[in-house]
Amino acid sequence: MEQAIYLATLVATALVLAAAFSSLIAFRFGAPLLLLFLGIGLLSGADGLGIEFDNAHLAYFAGSLALAVILFDSGFGTPTIVLRQAALPALSLATAGVALTAVLFGIAAHALTNFTWLESFLLGTTVASTDAAAVFFLLRAGNVNLRDRVRSTLEIESGTNDPIAIFLTITLVEIIALGADPEADVLFFDLVLGFFVTMGLGAAVGILGGFMIVRLIERLNLDRGLLPIFVLTLSLLVFAGAGAVGGSGFLAVYLAGLVAGNSQIRAQSALKRFQSGMSWLAQIIMFLVLGLFATPSQFPAILLVSVALGLFLIFVARPVAVWLCLKPFNFATTETAFISWVGLRGAVSILLAITPLLGGLEHGRAIFNTAFIVVLVSLIVQGWTVGPMARRLGLVVPPRGGPLEKVELELPGSAHHELLSYRVMPGSPVLRGERLPRWARPSLVVREGRSLKFPDFGRLLEGDRVYIFVSDRYPPLLDRLFTSKMELDPEDAEFFGAFAVDPGRPATELDTAYNVGLSEAELKMTVGDLLLTRLGGWAEYGDRLTMGPIELIVRDIDEKGRIAGVGLSFEPTEPQPLVPRLLGSGNLRSVVEAVFGKLSDKPAKQDAHDIG
């Protein structure tokens, strides 16, 4: 018995270490990290090293707990400014987008497989949500600096679409397991009613749970080492409590993290580091367990059909759903194309594919295997091309500044204040004459091994380590002062235009010099106000506006969202990247008609879309 414990521990730790080391390979080559984790699980399973693992209940239990940890961390790290930028389009994708994707995929599945209509739609719901971990790892590994609105939309969608997919999947499994064949209107009514009840209860428990976590952290004087564990346990309590009362535990735990992370709670920096580490561990465990549970020797019988369904999901179902959901929000065609392309499927889809096995469905194993292959197709086809696609579509913007070296130190009794340590980098504004505000006078400066107090250090020098104790509202302002000067390469310099324009100058000067055709109202504006008005009242770093023979580019945004820097280009160019043809408004009707009108009669014909 004792030897078995040692052996199990040895195997488990070896798998986790192998997955952790594989992340180095993924960062080096930009490979989809989830694909490596799943690969290690597959190689270690029954058809590989021979580790037998066929416990569906244990796999689903472990995966659900891991997903709850990941969702809490995702909510905890989402700032409110991200919600303001893209909440409505992202929630549209997370709700209607998931349902549309499931329906379109289900129609194709019914045409290409022997599944019933309900089983086909069940398969569609399992692969309808995107994988946040896979998407943002690839963006970081590929050093892709996306435009804020696109990144925010992807971030919120990935964090909020899992609960909807989980609800739809579990509901369909229950309906099929009961053997009922409900009428379409009855089924639709039950789904809608159940959706609002489940999501409403989950949202209520999550918001209340988030405030409970904040209140307990502020009131209880817990040991600093115990505090992160206490918060993690409370998040799982919210997850379990919401599920126990019939709500969505996954939505609840995400909202609890969102509330707690935006409440300026004590020890926030330490909690973020701990949550990040636990999220990585949860991802590794979930992916390894799901990889071990799969049986690759069963894949050949359904391989061709599953690959075809995976391609249909990538090139038709996801793009059509994204196009319809984002149409009211005035996204550019290139932005819509990229968001549809970054719909990577991952561990959640595989986890949901286990539910038909838990429900004892006749074709449960076939549904699981098909979903697993669809996920692999998504990771292989889309996972390697996220960075190149963003560059191809012109959505990558140069970084706002160079390196910033900062350390946040937690002090006892310093609620709502932070002790920040900055290293003065070459070319940072504080070396170029920018003065530190009165509220940010350094408490200590370490220079060449000597500790200097204010004002003994005089002017700050390159390499100084500066310690500043400030309110937690001000760190973003200080970051600007200590960020090193960004050296733009020729392509980036061209991105921002030939020269700078003062956003406070009258817009009449532009009209006089370049005859851009301004209205009487616009002639009374400043350049910044004109640009902001033409962009719909909301501007972000890297936005571009063509006006006759010139193009104005937003170079900088201040803390209040006002345009602080504008560039001007004499060669306005509208990028003409190759995007899926079905995203064009003129082709959408024919695509929808083909999907709904022909798939039920014969297998779908895959069109070749040149994505780039």
Residue pair 502/564 in contact (Cβ under 8 Å)? The answer is no
pLDDT > 90 in the chain, percent = 28
Which of 115-119, 267-271, 474-478, 588-592 shows the lowest per-residue confidence on average (mean pLDDT)? 588-592
Q: What angle do CA 529, 532, 535 make, to 5 degrees?
A: 150
Which of 3-17, 386-400, 496-510 shows the lowest per-residue confidence on average (mean pLDDT)? 3-17
> Between residues 340 and 426, which one has the greater pLDDT?
340
CATH code, residues 2-392? 1.20.1530.20
pLDDT single digits (tens) 205-262 = 999 999 999 999 888 877 777 889 999 999 999 999 999 999 999 999 999 999 998 8
Asked if the model's pLDDT at residue 32 lies above 70, the reply is no
pLDDT > 70 in the chain, percent = 79
Q: Give all strands of the β-sheet with 444-447 in edge-to-edge order.
A: 406-409, 417-423, 465-471, 444-447, 450-452
Which of 94-98, 209-213, 597-601 shows the lowest per-residue confidence on average (mean pLDDT)? 597-601
Q: Mean pLDDT across the stretch 75-82?
A: 82
> Between residues 337 and 493, which one has the greater pLDDT?
337
Can you tell me the distance from the alpha carbon of 442 to that of 419, in angstroms, rounded to the nearest whole number? 10
What is the model's pLDDT at position 609? 33
First to last CA, the chain: 57
pLDDT single digits (tens) 395-441 = 877 766 656 667 766 666 555 677 788 888 887 888 877 777 777 77
CATH architecture for the domain at 406-482: 2-Layer Sandwich (3.30)
What is the model's pLDDT at position 603? 40
Candidates 3.30.465.10, 3.40.50.1100, 3.50.50.60, 3.40.50.300; CATH matching 490-569: 3.30.465.10
Amino acid in the structure at residue 596? F
Can you tell me the distance from the alpha carbon of 301 to that of 502, in angstroms, rounded to the nearest whole number? 65
> Between residues 83 and 580, which one has the greater pLDDT?
83
Distance of CA 583 to the CA centre of its chain: 22
Q: CA of 256: how far to CAs of 47, 69, 78, 158, 250, in Å?
A: 40, 11, 12, 16, 10
Can you tell me the distance from the alpha carbon of 308 to that of 422, in angstroms, rounded to the nearest whole number? 53
Q: Which helix (H) or strand (E) holds 465?
A: strand 465-471
- pLDDT band, very low/low/confident/very high, at 315 (cuts 50, 70, 90): very high
Provide φ and ψ at 120, rounded to 5°. -65, -45
> Between residues 531 and 608, which one has the greater pLDDT?
531
Question: What is the rounded average pLDDT for all residues in the chain?
Answer: 80
Can you tell me the distance from the alpha carbon of 213 to that of 74, in angstroms, rounded to the nearest whole number? 16
Residue pair 508/453 in contact (Cβ under 8 Å)? The answer is no
What is the model's pLDDT at position 434? 77
Q: What angle do CA 291, 293, 294 make, to 5 degrees?
A: 70
Residue pair 70/92 in contact (Cβ under 8 Å)? The answer is no
Can you tell me the distance from the alpha carbon of 448 to that of 166, in angstroms, rounded to the nearest whole number? 57
Q: Which two tokens stand for residue 200?
A: 């409403």
What is the model's pLDDT at position 391? 80
What is the model's pLDDT at position 34? 72
Q: Mean pLDDT across the stretch 270-297?
A: 86
Spell out the domain ranges in the chain.
2-392, 406-482, 490-569
Which of 8-12, 274-278, 333-337, 602-606 shows the lowest per-residue confidence on average (mean pLDDT)? 602-606
CB atoms within 10 A of CB 236: 15
Asked if the model's pLDDT at residue 318 lies above 50, the reply is yes
Asked if the model's pLDDT at residue 304 lies above 60, the reply is yes
Q: What is the gyration radius of the CA atoms in the chain, in angstroms?
A: 26
